[in-house]
Chains A and B, each alone.
Chain A
Amino acid sequence: MEKFTVHSGSAVPLRYSNVDTDQIIPAVYLKRVARTGFEDGLFAAWRANDPEFVLNKPEFAGGSVLIAGTDFGTGSSREHAVWALQDYGFKAVLAPRFGDIFRGNALKGGLLAVVLPYEVIERLWEAVEADPATEVTVDLQEREVRAAGVVQPFELDDYTRWRLMEGLDDIALTLRHTDDIDAFEKRRHTWLPVTQ
C-alpha cells in the first residue's frame, strides 16, 4: 500500500447527503474479478444522466479530494466503491459522517476518509465552488485539513495513522501474532460448528 503523509490537490464539491455505495459504483460493475480499472463505474448513473453533475464539469476535472455531504458511503459493503474513487484519482474524502464499512474499507486501502464538522464542509464547498483551483491539503502527519484560510484539525486514531503513514499491510501485521491465534484456537468452545 502506498504511504500517505500529506496530500495537496484540487477538490470536487459533492453537495449530496446520503450517497450510498450503490451510487458510488452500481452493482453491474461489481461482476469483475480484477482489482483495478473501476474508474468508469464511479458515480456511473449520475455521470451518464446528469450534465450538471459535478464530475461532468470541466472546472472540477483532475480533483483529488472529494468533499461530500453527511452519510457518505452508506449501504453495501462493496470495497469496489473505494477502488473506484482511487482509480479515478481521489486520495482523500472529507465528509461530516461516513458509513462505517465504507470508512473502514477506505482506511484499509489508503484512501483517507476524514470526518469534518458540517460547517467546515460547507465552507470548503463555498471556497471550492468560488474557485475550483483552490488547493486543499490533507495532512495526516499533523491530522489537519488546510484550504482557503481554513485550518481544521481532524481525529484519527494513532494506530490507523501509523499504519497509513507506513503503508503497512494489515495481514502481515496480524501474522506476527500467529502464536496468539494458535493459543486462542485451543480454548474455543468444543460445540462450535465446522463447515466440512
Chain B
Amino acid sequence: MARTMAEKVWEEHVVRRADGEPDLLYIDLHLVHEVTSPQAFEGLRLAGRRVRRPDLTIATEDHNVPTENILGPIADKVSRTQIETLRKNASDFGVRLFPMGDLDQGIVHVVGPQLGLTQPGMTVVCGDSHTSTHGAFGALAFGIGTSQVEHVLATQTLPMAPFKTMAVTVDGSLPPGVTAKDIILAVIAEIGTGGGQGHVIEYRGQAIRELSMEARMTICNMSIEAGARAGMIAPDETTFDYVKGRPHAPEGAEWDAAVEHWKSLRTDEGAVFDKEVVLDADRLSPFVTWGTNPGQGAPLDSAVPDPADFDDPAERAAAEKALAYMDLAAGTPLRDVRVDTVFLGSCTNGRIEDLRAAAEIIKGRKVADGVRMLVVPGSMRVKEQANAEGLGEVFTAAGAEWREAGCSMCLGMNPDQLQPGERSASTSNRNFEGRQGKGGRTHLVSPLVAAATAVRGTLSSPADL
C-alpha cells in the first residue's frame, strides 16, 4: 500500500506494537535545554534511574541566557539556578552540554542541524514545541512535555498516539521579496491555529522544493503554530548537500547507504493524506500578524481587519480581544503601524541566511530614530560565520545591537524583553499576549520585513525603501 513519508518513518521506529496500546517508538535524538528538563532529571534521581542513551542526547543553554556580557554570572538568580541545575544534571548523568561561551552553544533547534545531528528519517524529540523545525530534513520531530522528557531519558522511547496526515502543497514560485516566513504565516492564517491538530503536515510542491534547507526549517518550525504534531519536507539533493560534511554526518560507504535509504522515504505515488491544503506561491506577498495568535495574520498590503467581518462568533470575539490588546483600530493600514523594537533572531529566523537577507537590506542605511533593533544569532557558530562575512559590522553600523546567541526576545524569560505597551516587529514565532515581555505587543514578520521596518519605523517591506 502506498504510504506517506511520515508513516514510513513512524513504522521504522516501532519498538513494540500491541493491540489496544499506543505504539512504542524509538527516539534517535533527544535535545535537552534548561527549562523543561530539571524536573525530568529529578524524577530519574528519585526513581534511581539512569539516562539510557547519553550518546543520543545533547544539551544546550538557550532560553534563559542573556545575550550580552555572557562571561559574567547571570544576574537573575532564578535563571542562574536553572542553568546551574542543567550543568549539574548533564555532568551527573553523562550528557554532553554546550554551555554559554562554548562555540557550539545556541538555540537547540539551530545547534542540532548545524552539527549534522539532524538527518532524514530520524525521530527527534525535545521538550520544546519548535522541535518541529527538524522535520525540514524529513525527520519525524515532536515537541514533548517534561514527563515525556523523563520517559525518553529513561528508556529512549515514547509511547505515541497515532496521527493523521495532512498535505500542504505550495505550487508555483515565490515572487522576489517573499520568503518562507510569508508562506508559513499565510498557511496558518488559512487553516487556523487548530487546523493541523492531530496531524503531521507534509509540505510539498514546487515552491517548497525550491527553498533552501534553512528556509525549509523556518516553515517546519511553525507547524506547531498551526496546531500540528509535526511538519516534514521530503529529503532531496538540497537536504543531502546541507548534511554532507557536517561533524556528525555519515561518511564514505555509510554516506552512500544513508542517501539511498533517505531517498526511499519520500511519500509514495498515490498515497492518501487525511487532509489537503493547496496554496499558490505566485500570489503570495509579505505577510504580517495583527493579532495575538499566529493565525491572525494578513498581507502587509492590507489593513487591520474589522472583527464585525468575522462570521464565526468565537473568531469575532478573539479578534475583538486581540485588537484591544494590540491597541489597533480596525481599518488601519498595516503599513501605518509604528514599532518600538525590531527583533531579528529565534529558532524560526536566526540562521545565517536570515541574517544575510536582513543585512543586505539594512546595509548603508540606519535604524530609524526611536527604534531599537536587536539582532541575535541563533548560535555562536552563526555569529562566527556572520562576523566572517562582515554582517555584524553592517548591523552595528546601522545602529542595531549585535548580540550573542540565545532565544532572546522570542520569549520573556531572559533580559531581552519588551516593556508594557511596547510594540515589536519580530521574526520569531509567537505573538501571544505577553510573549515577549509583560504587556508587549508583537507583529510576526519575515527577516526582510524586519529589516525594512527597522529602517522606516513602521511595518514595511524592502519595496518601500
Residues of A within 8 A of B (CB): 15-18, 20, 22-23, 26-28, 30-35, 45, 69-71, 74-80, 82, 97-101, 104-105, 108-109, 157-159, 170-171, 173-175, 177-178, 180-181, 184-185, 188-196
Contacts and interface: CB of A to CB of B under 8 A. Distances in A.
A178 B15 CA distance: 10
B46 to A, nearest CB: 10
Given A77-B129, A181-B155, A194-B55, A26 B49 contact: no
Contacts of B64: 31
Interface stretch (B234-242, B253-261, B444-452): B253-261
10 contacts: A17-B317, A18-B318, A22-B432, A45-B434, A79-B145, A97-B194, A98-B197, A104-B161, A170-B151, A189-B258
A158 B20 contact: yes
Contact of A74 (B28, B193, B321): B193
B412 A193 contact: no
Contacts of A184: 15, 26
A192 B119 contact: yes
Contacts of B54: 195-196
B129 A33 contact: no
Contact of A193 (B119, B145, B257, B315): B119
Contact of A78 (B36, B159, B257): B36
Given A23-B432, A191-B250, A191-B254, A171 B49 contact: yes
Q: Among A27, A34, A79, which residue has the most Cβ atoms of chain B within 10 A?
A: A27
Given A76-B129, A101-B145, A180-B24, A28 B82 contact: no
Contact of B413 (A30, A71, A77, A178): A30
A26 B128 CA distance: 15
A169 to B, nearest CB: 8
Contacts of A70: 194, 314
Contacts of B55: 194-196
B396 interface: no
Given A178-B155, A194-B55, 12 more contacts: A22-B432, A22-B433, A26-B434, A31-B413, A99-B194, A158-B20, A170-B151, A171-B150, A180-B15, A181-B26, A192-B119, A193-B117
Contacts of A79: 36, 39, 127, 145-147
A75 B295 CA distance: 12
A45 B439 CA distance: 9
B459 to A, nearest CB: 23
Contacts of A175: 154-155
A45 B433 contact: yes
Given A77-B129, A97-B197, A171-B155, A104 B148 contact: yes
Nearest to A100: B229
B16 A77 contact: no
Contacts of A190: 254
A71 B147 CA distance: 22
Which one of B20, B47, B56, B64 has the greatest number of beta carbons of chain A within 10 Å?
B56
B434 A17 contact: no
B216 interface: no
A31 B55 CA distance: 27
Contacts of B427: none
A15 B321 CA distance: 12
A171 B64 CA distance: 29
A32 B28 CA distance: 29
Given A77-B143, A105-B145, A194 B56 contact: yes
Contacts of A180: 15-16, 24
B227 A26 contact: no
Interface string B414-439: 00000000000000001011110010
Contact of B161 (A32, A157, A173): A157
A191 B430 contact: no
B81 interface: yes
A98 B56 CA distance: 31
Nearest to A173: B159
Given A20-B432, A78-B36, A181 B157 contact: yes
A101 B129 contact: yes
A17 B293 CA distance: 11
A193 B227 contact: no
Given A74-B193, A109-B147, A189-B258, A174 B24 contact: yes
Nearest to A106: B145
B78 interface: yes
A189 B76 CA distance: 44
B293 A82 contact: no
A27 B408 CA distance: 12
B433 A18 contact: no
Contacts of B413: 27-28, 30-31
Contacts of A28: 412-413, 438
A28 to B, nearest CB: 6
In this complex, the member of A28, A69, A109 whose beta carbon has the largest number of chain B beta carbons within 10 angstroms is A28
A181 B193 CA distance: 36
A177 B263 CA distance: 32
B29 interface: yes
B426 to A, nearest CB: 14
A189 B119 CA distance: 12
Interface string B38-58: 110010000101001011111
B462 interface: no
Interface string B77-117: 01101100100000000001000000000000000000011
A17 B292 CA distance: 12
B159 A174 contact: yes
A159 B21 contact: yes
Contacts of B430: 20, 22, 75-76
B257 A31 contact: no
Contact of A159 (B22, B39, B96): B22
